Amino acid sequence: MALVLLLLIPSLLTLFTKGVQAVELQMFCKCFCGSNSTIFELPMVDPKPCSNCTKQFCLDNVKDGMCDGIADETCPSNDFRTACFARDSFKDEIIVRIFLVIIFGLIIFAFIKPYVDQWKKDRQSGNQYTPVIDREN
């Protein structure tokens, strides 16, 4: 068990040091125009970048006439939606890394457990006192 912990400690340290390096997130705005959708990278100049994910932001950035009817009154308001999200967030990365560390730890533990059990059994039998028969008497 101690060997498994020794193997997991460097992985856990790597997990948290990588997490500190990945603090900078990138926010995205997904614009839905009817059945079409487009994803745009939001500028990170605001402390709340999701406040920029608006209908006007989408209309200004969409090309190829994908949302031509959105700008005028012919398009119903429920046909246009926006969604703000962060891709590769810190929380998601930590969850995946913890899962991987646990799985690899269990695999290593399952692999070495028979050897550790055999070693304990051999050590126990070696510590037992067996009297020597005195044949001269």
Q: What is the mean pLDDT of residues 38-66?
A: 81
pLDDT at 101: 94
pLDDT at 105: 93
SS3 54: coil
Question: Do residues 42 and 52 touch, judged by C-beta distance below 8 A?
Answer: yes
Q: Which residue did the predictor score with more confidence, 11 or 117?
A: 117
Sign of the dihedral defined by the CA atoms of residues 88, 93, 99, 104, in that order:
positive
Torsion angle, alpha carbons of 133, 135, 136, 137, to 10 = 70
pLDDT band at 8 (very low <50, low <70, confident <90, very high): low
pLDDT, mean over the chain: 75
Q: Using CA atoms, how far apart are residues 131 and 74, in angstroms rounded to an integer?
A: 101
pLDDT band at 109 (very low <50, low <70, confident <90, very high): very high
Q: What is the mean pLDDT of residues 128-137?
A: 68
The domain limits of the chain are 26-87, 89-123
Q: Which residue did the predictor score with more confidence, 70 or 90?
A: 90
Q: Using CA atoms, how far apart are residues 62 and 56, in angstroms rounded to an integer?
A: 10
Q: Which residue did the predictor score with more confidence, 123 or 36?
A: 123
- Predicted TM-score (pTM) of this structure: 0.47
For residue 115, pLDDT beyond 70 = yes
CA-to-CA dists, residue 57 to 3, 61, 72, 114, angstroms: 55, 6, 15, 62
Q: What is the mean pLDDT of residues 107-132?
A: 84
In terms of DSSP H, where are the helices of the chain?
2-21, 55-61, 90-127
H-run or E-run covering 43: none
Between the ranges 22-31, 45-54, 102-111, where is the mean pLDDT highest?
102-111
Q: What is the mean pLDDT of residues 48-73?
A: 73
